[in-house]
A and B are shown apart, each in its own frame.
Chain A
Amino acid sequence: MNFDIEKIRSLFPLLHQEVHGKPLIYFDNAATTQKPQSVLDALTGYYNHDNSNIHRGAHALADRATRYFEETRETIKDFIHAREAAEIIFTKGTTESINLVASTFGRKFIGSGDEIIISTMEHHSNIVPWQMLCEEKGAILKIIPISESGEILFEEFEKLLSPKTKLVSIVHASNALGTINPVRKIIQAAHSLGAKVLLDGAQSTSHLEVDVQELDCDFLAFSAHKLYGPTGLGVLYGKREILEAMPPFHGGGEMIKEVTFEKTTYNEIPFKFEAGTPNIADVIAFKSSLDFINGLGKKAIKAHEDELLAYANEKMGEIKGFIPVGTAPEKVSVLSFNINGMHPYDVGMMLDANGIAVRTGHHCTQPLMKRLGLEGTVRASFAVYNSKLEIDSMADNVAKIARIKNK
């Protein structure tokens, strides 16, 4: 493995601290990742040197900030292999990206009796916007069932598809289970009936090479904070012809071409969807996150994380009372589990007491938990800076905890 963990860790100041007197082990990366020094430097650098409003001022600072801002857009375009930077829209995050599509694409193209398909394993942010839209429009939400192992039942999906299907909105990689969904097949099937496809890439973009042209998805939504970038910033990718056909989202500055009291004409994409002064500092700093990821390379990242996941499965599998949740063969580095006879909150609390940060609960996927008959799980999710030593420590602690109820 050509992965120098110590060197990578040295780039993340936050990792070097103690929690409850123990060295921090951060395994809550599916919730949010930590930020490398280069991202922090870019943030302060922007405020120290370049702060000004973009796309409007006729002065050097505004010019510089605008250039940096648009450079990030270009970098994202390359990162997801979009045709052009105009297809990249900045939002507050995955949630806002999905809501943007529901409000604009939904407003124009989805009507009474039309159908939207999602899956059982969606995050609430890929459920609720569609429920709201369906309620408003009299459209119908259809749910793809899953297997015990946490995989979409593809034949069931094909049965749900019909000419009434206008949109399929599906998670690329599940935050609660790690399952990587067969999105290429899903997209092909949906397109064959004229439906558009939105991919929730909140979890996939940090682990997998995502090529929107190759996949041929119509939309991709993701969040910077899960990609070693700043919080409160996200991306919506959309194909040009669809974005152009969609009405604007918010009204205000930046998104207009000309405003008169009689009639307003709208700006070109992407600006049509970016009303108001955007999150300039975070957009500019996000480029450093992508540079960091590109520097390591997605292939190497995936290989490292696969190795961690396999190691964790092996180590934890030896523990009496360990119950893995989500056992699909294709997974990103998410290990969801329960301990026989114990509530996930108790397990999480005891891990925290040992400096190990995991997530416990329903992971914003209550319908999925209901389907699996669980109140929740403990979730350890791994990132580039995690090591096998840390997994050893978690396994030792989980073994100790599990013994309470599994003698």
Chain B
Amino acid sequence: MSSIKDIQDEIVSEFEILGDDKESTIYFIMELGAGLEALPEVARVEDNIIKGCQSKVWLIAEEQDGKVHYMADSNTDITKGLISLLLRVLNNRAPEEILNAKLDFVERIGMGSIIGSQRSNGFASMIKQIKLFAFAIQSNQNV
């Protein structure tokens, strides 16, 4: 598995190819969402919705062989694309690795100007929830 740094570099170079073309960038993000592993229907419940997002984003996590396995979905394609970017970097890693991850790709691709300030807040909520799950699983491992 590639390192968190390598995957982020990869994402940054993909976005560099798109350049300043906002439309292609949005299409690209939406297409990324289509590749997201399907979230079981039973998990699409109120309790799994991330607070602080304008759109609905469902996120669940479970431990698999000491790693954190996430699954997510959203009612909007752009948000689905955004969460798929995060999971591409962070999914199936040890909790400690997730908690220590520096997500510098967000700034490097200029995410703020692509998605605007409201969605950026939602994006930050997604990152927070991903880390909270990792923390909970790590705490369980340590008892």
Bound state CA distance, A352 and B26, in angstroms? 10
Bound state CA distance, A361 and B30, in angstroms? 19
Bound state CA distance, A349 and B22, in angstroms? 10
Contact check: which of B20, B25, B26, B76 meets A343 at CB < 8 Å?
B76
Instruction: Given A343-B55, A345-B54, A346-B30, decide whether A21 and B77 contact each other with a Cβ distance below 8 A.
Output: no
Contact across chains for B20 and A21 when beta carbons are under 8 A apart: yes
Contact check: which of A20, A21, A346, A375 meets B78 at CB < 8 Å?
A346
Bound state CA distance, A354 and B22, in angstroms? 8
A234 smallest CB distance to B (angstroms): 25
Bound state CA distance, A403 and B18, in angstroms? 21
Contact check: which of B22, B23, B77 meets A346 at CB < 8 Å?
B77
Contact check: which of A349, A361, A375 meets B26 at CB < 8 Å?
A349
Residue of A nearest to B75 (CB): A343
**A residues less than 8 Å from B54 (CB atoms):** 345, 361
Residue of B nearest to A404 (CB): B30
**A residues less than 8 Å from B25 (CB atoms):** 353
Complex interface residues of chain B between 29 and 55 (CB less than 8 A to chain A) = 30, 54-55
A342 contacts partner chain B, Cβ-Cβ < 8 Å = yes
Bound state CA distance, A354 and B20, in angstroms? 12
Contact across chains for B77 and A20 when beta carbons are under 8 A apart: no
**A residues less than 8 Å from B75 (CB atoms):** 343, 375
Complex interface residues of chain A between 14 and 31 (CB less than 8 A to chain B) = 20-21
Bound state CA distance, A349 and B76, in angstroms? 11
Bound state CA distance, A280 and B118, in angstroms? 33
Interface size on B, residues (CB 8 A): 16
Bound state CA distance, A353 and B22, in angstroms? 5
Bound state CA distance, A345 and B75, in angstroms? 10
A350 contacts partner chain B, Cβ-Cβ < 8 Å = yes
A297 smallest CB distance to B (angstroms): 38
Bound state CA distance, A375 and B79, in angstroms? 15
Encoded as 1 (CB less than 8 Å from any A CB) or 0, chain B from 106 to 140 comes to 00000000010000000000000000000000000
Bound state CA distance, A345 and B33, in angstroms? 15
Contact across chains for B22 and A342 when beta carbons are under 8 A apart: no
A120 smallest CB distance to B (angstroms): 24
Encoded as 1 (CB less than 8 Å from any A CB) or 0, chain B from 5 to 34 comes to 000000000000000111101110010000
**B residues less than 8 Å from A346 (CB atoms):** 30, 76-78
Contact across chains for B22 and A20 when beta carbons are under 8 A apart: yes
Bound state CA distance, A280 and B40, in angstroms? 59
B55 smallest CB distance to A (angstroms): 6
Contact across chains for B23 and A353 when beta carbons are under 8 A apart: yes
A101 smallest CB distance to B (angstroms): 32
B13 smallest CB distance to A (angstroms): 21
Complex interface residues of chain A between 324 and 362 (CB less than 8 A to chain B) = 342-343, 345-346, 349-350, 352-354, 361
Complex interface residues of chain A between 382 and 407 (CB less than 8 A to chain B) = 404
Question: Can you identify 17 A-B contacts, CB atoms within 8 angstroms?
Answer: A20-B22, A21-B21, A21-B22, A343-B55, A343-B75, A343-B76, A345-B55, A345-B76, A345-B78, A345-B79, A346-B76, A349-B26, A350-B23, A352-B22, A353-B22, A361-B54, A404-B30
Q: Across chains A and B, which 3 residue pairs bring their CB atoms closest together, nearest first?
A: A343-B76, A353-B22, A20-B22
Contacts A345-B54, A353-B22 known; 4 new A-B pairs at CB < 8 A: A343-B75, A343-B76, A346-B77, A349-B115
Chain B interface (Cβ within 8 Å of chain A)?
A: 20-23, 25-27, 30, 54-55, 75-79, 115
